[in-house]
Structure 1
């Protein structure tokens, strides 16, 4: 079969599962955009800027499996790069396509716009090579081979890839053989060896535990890991990067693990375990309570996507999913079930305070918001108060929590919500974002309205960067921001979409607003006001940990 290079690229993207491409038009990608307009099964979603486009593709990919971004060379590339780096840090597969100047301009080193006007067309590629699994510049003679190579790397490593697409080759013809991406296969002998080592460790353990990290989402291991834990009756805990990837109910669910930031019963169980099966675990500062994890010496069995380290032996050439399957074959449960410590806490926890009377605080707000959430909601929370609160929340069954604790870019969640809404329009979406984070990417609220996304947005207005105030400068002006009329913005950005705009300053207003939000079928935007130092439980301790690690001081202010 023959077709154009542009058609070949779109065909390959559809084979990978891409049905939406986010981005911004530019003079070097317009012909490719024309082709997208005429291609069934794939559509272009225009965003307000390239940074937001890549965030939206990230949010889409976390639910659909893969995301795609289209930018124009130079200015668009570098605008998107921070979000692409975030996807790399968090293991999110994205395809970034850059419409670049024509090959004749590249080959003649022409001094064209969107470059440094020095004839160098390699500097942008050099930037992207630091934050992607693979990069390429398409040429007619090798376009198909190079496209397949980089998409295979994305499929295997679950990280972003980058394709430069010269503007003058979109309709150059090439061969387009059918291709389906395939994962590497495990070495049979090494798989048997690894499964035996893991089974032996489980059999001789007194207190095993499974720690789940982002690898489970990346490689779609959710159901398989649950079966593994149930087969051996091994309790499991999730790092913040893997919340909601496994069922958060039942006797085997311990809770979220983050070192000293964990619930006491969760920390006690993990720290007392003599066999810790880590599934893709990386102890990052923000996921480990600032390196306060305490794993018993020799207890860790480190399972990564294509390797396992157990008792000092590293075995390569095996897939994690094959290992889990192999170790369950013909092996019976050997570990007794455990009591769920979170369930015990819930049974003895005081009832949520009534909305009638008492002070207005974030503690009251977050307790009440937990009751607002429904099973199977998609919940997004931005870095700061919102993420801290949601990582400590008990989420209903089937919820998906989208957070970015490793790259931790404020503003991520709003454009990511666009991608999530378009990826799963049949689910209800709820976004929690602070005022400082919102101001980073506020433009994409207009795109949510343009596409008539059904989402409830809680804007936490506490007058600036509360998470930074908890670290240093609680009264400092550098943590202040302009106080926008937030609740008026949705109408200004997309009044024809009929957004429901609400303001909440106390408990009674919150109750009324939640009732309206629950009944609304479109976009609900709720501005919720608090004082600058009001924060969810855990933020003060986190600020103290950050302060000690970053600055080596205990006091909240420098002398």
Structure 2
């Protein structure tokens, strides 16, 4: 089939599931944007800057399976790069397309704007190679081959890829055969042998457990994991990167796992387990209670996307989905395990004493009751994420957090992407004032697209998570106090369609929550606290960070 390079790229993006491209117009990508506007089935979502565009593509990809962002060369590339690195760290498939100067300028080393004016057109590519699993600069003679290579990588490895698209080739005609689906199939003999290793260990196990990490989201393994656990009666626990991927109710749900930061009983159960099936597990400081995980020697069966390590033996060339399916089939009628499980956590929100003083303890309990089954709940790094990782979320909720890259400000534009990917679900976002100030511009884009989201702005006058580490009264942890509740109107919100409120005590919060429950569209609720008021667990986290980063138990005060 003959067509333009630009049409070929858009056809292949649609083929892998892209229906929205986030970004900012720039003089090197305008012709491609003209083509996007004339192409059915794919929509450009303009954002306020490239960093936010890449965050939005990340949030979209976590809900839909794939995201895409369009930037202009140099200034746009590097603005988006922190978010792209975050997607790489957390295993989120995002396609980054960069409109770059024309091929004739590249070939002649012309000194053009958005470059260092030194004729070097390889430095930006060198930056992106550090944070993507494939990259390419398109040329007419190799455009199809390079596009297919890069898009195969994003589908297979579930991490970002990068395409440089010179501005003068969008409408160059080429032969573009139909795309071929990316399929990885393991050797059947290797697969059978690997499944046999796991089944043998399970048959011998006295106390098995499954630890779920982000790989389960990346590769859509939820049903396979639940089938395995249910069939064999294996309890499961989730690291913070995998919360809400599997049902968080029922007899097999142990609870969140984070080493010594785990819920009561969970850490001990995992510590004493003689068979730990780790699904893509990485013990990062922020997901393991600062490396406080404890496993019995030899207990871990390490299942990664394309490999298995079991009993000191490593096997490459596997596919996790096929391996889990083979294990379930091979177990057949094996009797279920009967481990002695710790008491199931109480998933009913505790009642609030009428006399409980206003503060974050009361706030998080009140909003926990506000959440509904099926909500998509975003929480930014700091107080909000710590609170939500300890919350009892309703059935069918999805938690949108970034524990590994842990960039403050991530959650607002990521929620934009999630809203547009899943408009039929209600969205709730918790974000601190410091985080909000990083990416506040995208509130205007949420308003422009009439997203159905309730935003809780937690205002405690600065960086509380940093205060818990060092400098509780230091000026460097202070920020300007905006009139947050006035921002929806200032950013173009229709007064009749936007609910904007403030709450500073339990009574006003109750009133605000009641109004938000009835509201369709964007509701913005600013909630005020004192600077050191924080959810349970943040102070302990701050102490752990302080010990690890600085080697001190208690900071010296002047």
Q: TM-score, normalised by structure 2?
A: 0.98
| SS class of match (1:168) | coil
Shift of residue 174, structure 1, vs aligned partner? 1.0
Question: Partner of 2:86 in structure 1?
Answer: 86
CA distance in 2, matches of 1:334, 1:272: 22
Q: Is the contact made by 2:4 and 2:173 (CA closer than 8 Å) also made in structure 1?
A: yes
Shift of residue 385, structure 1, vs aligned partner? 0.2
| SS class of match (2:344) | helix
| SS class of match (1:264) | coil
| SS class of match (1:494) | coil
CA distance in 1, matches of 2:512, 2:338: 43
Shift of residue 199, structure 1, vs aligned partner? 0.3
**Structure 1 stretch displaced more, 325-334 or 446-455:** 325-334
Shift of residue 556, structure 1, vs aligned partner? 3.4
2:496 is the counterpart of 1:495: no
Shift of residue 177, structure 1, vs aligned partner? 1.4
Give the gaps of 5 or more residues in structure 1. none
CA distance in 1, matches of 2:64, 2:346: 34
Q: Is the contact made by 1:241 and 1:405 (CA closer than 8 Å) also made in structure 2?
A: yes
CA distance in 2, matches of 1:39, 1:176: 17
Shift of residue 340, structure 1, vs aligned partner? 6.2
Q: Is the contact made by 1:233 and 1:333 (CA closer than 8 Å) also made in structure 2?
A: no
Shift of residue 264, structure 1, vs aligned partner? 2.1
The verdict on how the C-alpha distance between 1:25 and 1:473 changes in structure 2, with shifts beyond 3 A counting, is same
Question: Partner of 1:362 in structure 2?
Answer: 360
Question: Partner of 1:212 in structure 2?
Answer: 212
Shift of residue 343, structure 1, vs aligned partner? 3.0
**Structure 1 stretch displaced more, 283-292 or 261-270:** 261-270
CA RMSD of aligned residues (A): 1.2
Question: Partner of 1:473 in structure 2?
Answer: 471
Question: Partner of 1:439 in structure 2?
Answer: 437
Q: Is the contact made by 1:474 and 1:556 (CA closer than 8 Å) also made in structure 2?
A: no
2:542 is the counterpart of 1:543: yes
| SS class of match (2:469) | coil
Q: Is the contact made by 2:253 and 2:344 (CA closer than 8 Å) also made in structure 1?
A: no
The verdict on how the C-alpha distance between 1:339 and 1:144 changes in structure 2, with shifts beyond 3 A counting, is same
CA distance in 1, matches of 2:356, 2:191: 60
Q: Is the contact made by 1:461 and 1:529 (CA closer than 8 Å) also made in structure 2?
A: yes
Shift of residue 433, structure 1, vs aligned partner? 0.2
Alignment of structure 1 residues 133-282 onto 2, 5 Å = 133-282=133-282
Shift of residue 360, structure 1, vs aligned partner? 0.4
Shift of residue 317, structure 1, vs aligned partner? 0.9
| SS class of match (1:496) | coil
| 1:286-309 CA-partner distances (Å, limit 9, x unpaired) | 000000000110000000001100
Question: Partner of 1:2 in structure 2?
Answer: 2
Shift of residue 499, structure 1, vs aligned partner? 1.2
Q: Is the contact made by 2:429 and 2:453 (CA closer than 8 Å) also made in structure 1?
A: yes
Q: Is the contact made by 1:100 and 1:166 (CA closer than 8 Å) also made in structure 2?
A: yes
| SS class of match (2:337) | coil
Shift of residue 476, structure 1, vs aligned partner? 0.4
| 1:415-440 CA-partner distances (Å, limit 9, x unpaired) | 00100000000000000000000000
Q: Is the contact made by 2:428 and 2:454 (CA closer than 8 Å) also made in structure 1?
A: yes
CA distance in 1, matches of 2:334, 2:364: 39
Alignment of structure 1 residues 322-361 onto 2, 5 Å = 322-331=322-331, 332-337=333-338, 341=342, 343-345=344-346, 351-354=350-353, 356-361=354-359
Question: Partner of 1:387 in structure 2?
Answer: 385
Q: Is the contact made by 1:389 and 1:537 (CA closer than 8 Å) also made in structure 2?
A: yes
CA distance in 1, matches of 2:401, 2:343: 22
| 1:425-466 CA-partner distances (Å, limit 9, x unpaired) | 000000000000000000000000000001000000000000
| 1:223-257 CA-partner distances (Å, limit 9, x unpaired) | 11000101111000000000000111110000000
Shift of residue 183, structure 1, vs aligned partner? 2.5
Question: Partner of 1:43 in structure 2?
Answer: 43
The verdict on how the C-alpha distance between 1:207 and 1:464 changes in structure 2, with shifts beyond 3 A counting, is same
2:520 is the counterpart of 1:524: no
Question: Partner of 1:112 in structure 2?
Answer: 112
CA distance in 1, matches of 2:180, 2:287: 35
The verdict on how the C-alpha distance between 1:183 and 1:252 changes in structure 2, with shifts beyond 3 A counting, is same
| SS class of match (1:277) | strand
CA distance in 2, matches of 1:276, 1:155: 28
Q: Is the contact made by 1:252 and 1:339 (CA closer than 8 Å) also made in structure 2?
A: no
